[in-house]
Amino acid sequence: MGRLESKERSFIVVVLVVIVVMVTMDIVGDAQEGVGWWHLLVEAAIACAALVGIFLLLRGSFSLKRSLAEERKLSLRFQTEAENWRSQSKKYLDGLSQTIDSQLTNWKLTQSEKEVAFLLLKGLSLKEIAEIRKTAEKTARTQSISIYSKAGLAGRSELAAFFLEDLFPPSQEPPAVQP
């Protein structure tokens, strides 16, 4: 919960508590003066409504704080899990990166084309690649076309498949439907 939201909720709770106290004092004074029961009932309903508002605000605040704490724990667990995965697979990823670089060299790509190829494999758009490399988007497009041409591939999906296809288990073909 944000600091501003917390202050706003606290302010509203304080206002409602003041309303409950003032209305209760008014009810006591009115009862001593012999005011009609319907008037006392209306004021009691106002006090009850303020009490319900206080209850709902406090319950919501506690629920929100508890939910936020749980989300923080979950986020920390996911971060730890991701860090563990990265550290466990680092040697494999480094090896894969070197193998990819070797293949890009075999295709006789320039250093710039290699950089673009790695960024394409990471899934970046041509616009993002141009921004990262501080070039025009047209330059990134031209370099990507050159990469595909030198590699004998049709496009980005074939480039990714060339390197990643054997990393995943083969897909299961759905059973043939019998007529």
Q: pTM (2 decimals)?
A: 0.51
Burial status of residue 62 (CB atoms within 10 A of its CB: 0-12, 13-18, 19 or more): exposed
The pair of three-digit structure tokens given for residue 125, joined into one six-digit string: 């758009």
List the beta strands (DSSP E) in 31-162. none
> Quick check: 167 pLDDT over 80?
no
Model confidence at 1, pLDDT cuts 50, 70, 90, reads low
Model confidence at 104, pLDDT cuts 50, 70, 90, reads very high
Cβ atoms 153, 162 nearer than 8 A:
yes
Q: What is the 3-state secondary structure (H, E, C) of 52-72?
A: HHHHHHHHHHHHHHHHHHHHH
Mean pLDDT computed over 6-21: 89
The domain segmentation of the chain, as residue ranges, is 1-88, 107-166
What confidence score (pLDDT) does residue 95 get? 82
> Quick check: 166 pLDDT over 80?
no
pLDDT per residue as tens digits for the range 122-142: 999 999 999 999 999 999 999
Class of domain 107-166: mainly alpha
What confidence score (pLDDT) does residue 14 get? 92
> Quick check: 80 pLDDT over 70?
yes
